Amino acid sequence: MGLLSSKNKEILVGPLSKNNPVIVQMLGICSALAVTSKLEPSIVMGLSVTAVVAFANVIISLLRHTIPNRIRIIVQLVVCAALVTIISEVLKAFAYDVNKQLSVFVGLIITNCILMGRLEAFALGNGPWESFLDGIGNGLGYGIILVIVGFFRELLGSGTLLGIQVVPQVFYDFGYVNNGLMILPPMALIVVAVIIWVHRSRNKDLQEN
């Protein structure tokens, strides 16, 4: 079996849309909503989660035959907590401002359900390479949603992208006003709801009754 056989490609690409962790599997919603009022923290958060999920998947997958079944939740939590501590120290050292904006949500990656969900559902039953791909795929699927939500909230809420003004001054002269509601927490939920709406009207088989 090659490194990127068709099955592995499916593992990597599936979570981006059809099997997206946030809008289809309903995992990791808490942090997806809380950090997306600007684009930059969304990107950083997406990358951090991708790194943690990928490496946690590999570690648990390597240990899967040695962990006693009864204490596996504690073992998984400890592995995740160690990885998250590393990520949070790295962010403190190299991206201090973003780390401040993310506040407790970096620590909360531990209890991000994507992590536990993928470890339980995938890493415990598959080899390290597949688990690594699965982690990358799910992390990116999560990241994509964060970036879309962050993009619209920053564009409509403050008229900037990554801190750079993109809505031209002419608009403001003619009476265009930034929508302050987009910055506030409840709008994240509504933006995600719209994404779900669009996604489900394109993928009819995901609709609920």
Partner 1 sequence: MEELLSTFVRSIFVENMIFAYYLGMCSFLAVSKNVKTALGLGMAVTFILVCTLPINYMLENYVLKEGALSWLGAPFAEVNLSFLSLLIFIAIIASFTQLVEMVVEKYAPALYASLGIFLPLIAVNCAILGGSLFMQQKALANVGVATVYGLGSGIGWLLAIVGMAAIREKLAYSDIPKSLKGLGITFIITGLMGIGFMCFSGLKI
Q: In the complex, which residues of this chain contact partner 1 (CB under 8 A)?
A: 23, 26-31, 33-34, 73-74, 77-78, 81-82, 84-85, 88-89, 103-104, 107-108, 110-113, 116, 184-190, 192-193, 196-197, 200-201, 204, 207-209
- Stretch (H or E) spanning 138: helix 128-158
**Nearer Cβ to partner 1 (64/200):** 200
Q: Which of 174, 148, 170 is closest to 161 using CA atoms?
A: 148
**Nearer Cβ to partner 1 (50/112):** 112
Question: Which residue in the block uniquely carries the two structure tokens 């596996």?
Answer: 72
**Nearer Cβ to partner 1 (4/198):** 198
Residue 126 CB, nearest distance to partner 1 (Å)? Answer: 21
Residue 191 CB, nearest distance to partner 1 (Å)? Answer: 9
168: amino acid identity, one letter: P
Residue 3 CB, nearest distance to partner 1 (Å)? Answer: 32
Residue 112 CB, nearest distance to partner 1 (Å)? Answer: 7
**Nearer Cβ to partner 1 (168/186):** 186
**Nearer Cβ to partner 1 (167/206):** 206
Residue 136 CB, nearest distance to partner 1 (Å)? Answer: 22
Fill in the DSSP letter of residue 36. Answer: T
What is the rounded distance in angstroms from the CA atom of residue 12 to the CA atom of residue 133?
5
What is the rounded distance in angstroms from the CA atom of residue 43 to the CA atom of residue 45?
5
Token pair, residue 24, equals: 């289809």
Residue 151 CB, nearest distance to partner 1 (Å)? Answer: 18
**Nearer Cβ to partner 1 (87/133):** 87
Work out the number of other CB atoms within 10 angstroms of the CB of residue 160.
Answer: 15
Q: Where are the beta strands (DSSP E) in the chain?
A: 160-161, 164-165
Is residue 36 within 8 Å of 161, Cβ to Cβ?
A: no
Is residue 160 within 8 Å of 179, Cβ to Cβ?
A: no
Q: Which of 142, 145, 154, 138 is closest to 194 using CA atoms?
A: 145
